[in-house]
């Protein structure tokens, strides 16, 4: 196996740290060329000393000066850059063949898109990038012979359960549908009347997965599953009506593919993101991930339920955005990001998240979007409208 050269976008986050943990176990196979963080410079500093990348990227010039000084004093040769343009450069470096896209939210779109344009192997955790830019992103992947491998556990499971030579034609492969599993998050069975009063801490306490704050709140509203329906649509060319969300509270089955002959193929494992990360890093080979083997005797029971669209309105909004197409998914995603941030800052109640997204989608009718610029314009407009609604809501209090 040749050594793979990596850029890690979002190295200081939950997925970034798990990625480096897998790489640490296989330092003969992977070389880190660039580590990109944002503001957590202590963690980035430690990562730079351990993985000795050629480049490190932080949010701004002030932080860049701070970390560069510390690295120099520690005898490190890592060069420090800063800002969104540096992320784009790191994702397109000629010496890099593989880009782990693990920035959270819309901020990850420009560098992940740049990786596609540069024809890289993209390990995609940053689902928001694909949700926002679906057709534009997939066209960039195709036209530049980039390779897109899903890190999201469900999509990685689907990828593993599809035929090895799957080309995006369901009928030809005898596939009748996808079952996308969801844990249901921390509020699956909480009384509906209580939801208005839940706190960010309660929303972030996911029953099975330890993740960044934004995706944890998305799991609690089930917007995460909505984003994943859109993600699955673009990754595997599956129409929305062939993607069924299934609540499976144990998170052991990570998703399933149904075939016309009645066969159902699934991927199972302990809920640990190092499994899909190791799978995508080594693909088509296999490497150990450091994950405990699944003990099916300990698990013993697996449950399945239909999702409740009343409890989780975000799920319906995501299906709507997919149906509306054009810039609608970008609008929805931006409104969600702003609303989730406001909830985390205790400016709005949990139940206002879906209400704000719905309002933004009603105010901004879908338009076609055939370029990255049009997608980014929809993103900023939706952010503006969502922020305005939040200010109004706060004034009413
Ligand atoms: P996180 O919040 O733990 O980490 C986010 C990373 O992005 C950090 O390194 C942060 O520095 C960086 N970042 C944030 N804002 C940035 C900006 N404006 N510019 C540059 N960098 C920025 O999030 P996470 O849980 O690791 O999730 C990352 C992505 O992976 C998300 O899109 C999420 O939906 C997806 N994902 C995560 C998990 C999981 O288990 N954590 C599972 C599936 C998918
Ligand atoms: Mg997932």
Distance (angstroms) between ligand 1 centre and the Cα of 368 equals 28
Roughly what angle, to the nearest 10 degrees, separates helices 352-363 and 328-344?
A: 150
Which structural domains are found in the chain, ordered by start? 4-150 (3.40.50.720), 153-270+302-317 (no CATH), 325-397 (1.10.1740.10)
Q: Tell me which residue has its CA closest to atom 5 in ligand 1.
A: 13
Asked if omega into 375 is within 30° of 0 (cis), the reply is no
Q: How confident is the model at residue 397 (pLDDT cuts 50, 70, 90)?
A: confident
Mention every residue, 6+ apart, whose C-beta is less than 8 A from residue 225.
Answer: 180, 182, 219, 245, 307, 312, 315, 318
Looking at the chain, the whole-number percentage of residues with pLDDT higher than 90 is 96
Q: What is the mean pLDDT of the chain?
A: 97
Q: How confident is the model at residue 12 (pLDDT cuts 50, 70, 90)?
A: very high
Instruction: Judge contact between 10 and 126, C-beta under 8 A.
Output: yes
Q: Name the token pair of 360.
A: 């933004």
Q: Which of 8, 212, 220, 383 to mutate to test the pocket of ligand 1 (most atoms within 8 A of CB)?
A: 212
Q: For 310-340, how does the pLDDT look when each residue is reduced to its tens digit (9 = 90+)? A: 999 999 999 999 999 999 999 999 999 999 9
Task: Compute the half-sphere exposure of residue 54: CA atoms within 13 Å on the CB side of its CA.
Answer: 10
Q: Which of 36, 37, 125 to mutate to test the pocket of ligand 1 (most atoms within 8 A of CB)?
A: 125
Distance (angstroms) between ligand 1 centre and the Cα of 130 equals 14
Looking at the chain, the whole-number percentage of residues with pLDDT higher than 70 is 100
Q: For 239-288, how does the pLDDT look when each residue is reduced to its tens digit (9 = 90+)? A: 999 999 999 999 999 999 999 999 999 999 999 999 999 999 999 999 99
For residue 185, give the ligand nearest its CA: 2
Give Cα 186 distance to the centre of its chain.
Answer: 19
Instruction: Check residue 1 and give its pLDDT.
Output: 64
Distance (angstroms) between ligand 1 centre and the Cα of 264 equals 32
Nearest to 329 by CA among 361, 352, 307, 373: 361
- Helices in the chain by DSSP H: which ranges? 14-24, 41-51, 61-73, 84-92, 109-117, 127-143, 153-161, 200-204, 213-221, 223-236, 274-282, 296-299, 313-324, 328-344, 352-363, 372-396
Task: Compute the half-sphere exposure of residue 73: CA atoms within 13 Å on the CB side of its CA.
Answer: 7
For residue 211, give the ligand nearest its CA: 1
Output the ligand 1 site: residues, CB below 6 A: 10-16, 37-38, 40, 102-104, 107, 125-128, 152, 209, 211-212, 214-215, 273
Q: For 25-81, how does the pLDDT look when each residue is reduced to its tens digit (9 = 90+)? A: 999 999 999 999 999 999 999 999 999 999 999 999 999 999 999 999 999 999 999
Q: CA-CA-CA-CA torsion for 177, 183, 189, 192, nearest 10 degrees? A: -80
**pTM of this prediction exceeds 0.85:** yes
């Amino acid at each position: 196996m040749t050594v793979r050269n990596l850029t890690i976008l979002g190295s200081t986050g939950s997925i970034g740290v798990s990625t480096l943990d897998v790489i640490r176990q296989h330092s003969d196979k992977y070389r880190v060329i660039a580590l990109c963080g944002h503001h957590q410079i202590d963690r980035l500093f430690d990562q730079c000393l351990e993985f000795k990348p050629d480049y490190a990227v932080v949010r701004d010039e002030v932080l860049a000066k701070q970390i560069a000084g510390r690295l120099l004093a520690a005898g490190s040769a890592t060069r420090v850059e800063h800002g969104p343009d540096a992320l784009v450069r790191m994702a397109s470096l000629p010496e890099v063949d593989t880009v782990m896209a693990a920035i959270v939210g819309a901020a990850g779109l420009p560098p992940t898109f740049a990786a596609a344009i540069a024809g890289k192997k993209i390990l995609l955790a940053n689902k928001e990038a694909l949700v926002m830019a679906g057709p534009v992103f997939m066209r960039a992947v195709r036209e530049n012979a980039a390779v897109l491998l899903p890190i999201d556990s469900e999509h990685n499971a689907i990828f593993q359960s599809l035929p090895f030579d799957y080309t995006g034609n369901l009928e030809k492969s005898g596939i009748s549908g996808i079952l996308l599993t969801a844990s249901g998050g921390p509020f699956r069975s909480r009384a509906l009347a209580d939801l208005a009063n839940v706190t960010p801490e309660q929303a972030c306490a996911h029953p099975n997965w330890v993740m960044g704050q934004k995706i944890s709140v998305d799991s609690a509203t089930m917007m995460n599953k909505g984003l994943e329906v859109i993600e699955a649509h673009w990754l595997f060319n599956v129409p929305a009506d062939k993607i069924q969300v299934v609540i499976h509270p144990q998170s052991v089955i990570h998703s399933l593919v149904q075939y016309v002959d009645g066969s159902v193929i699934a991927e199972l494992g302990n809920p640990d993101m190092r499994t899909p990360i190791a799978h995508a890093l080594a693909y088509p080979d296999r490497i150990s991930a450091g994950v405990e083997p699944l003990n099916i005797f300990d698990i013993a029971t697996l449950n399945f339920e239909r999702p409740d669209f009343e409890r989780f309105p975000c799920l319906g909004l995501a299906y709507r955005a997919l149906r509306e197409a054009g810039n609608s998914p970008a609008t929805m995603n931006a409104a969600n990001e702003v609303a989730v941030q406001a909830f985390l800052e205790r400016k709005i109640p949990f139940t206002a998240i879906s209400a704000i997204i719905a309002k933004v989608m009603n105010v901004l009718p879908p338009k076609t979007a055939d370029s990255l610029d049009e997608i980014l314009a929809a993103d900023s407009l939706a952010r503006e409208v969502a922020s305005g609604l939040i200010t109004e809501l706060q004034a009413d209090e």
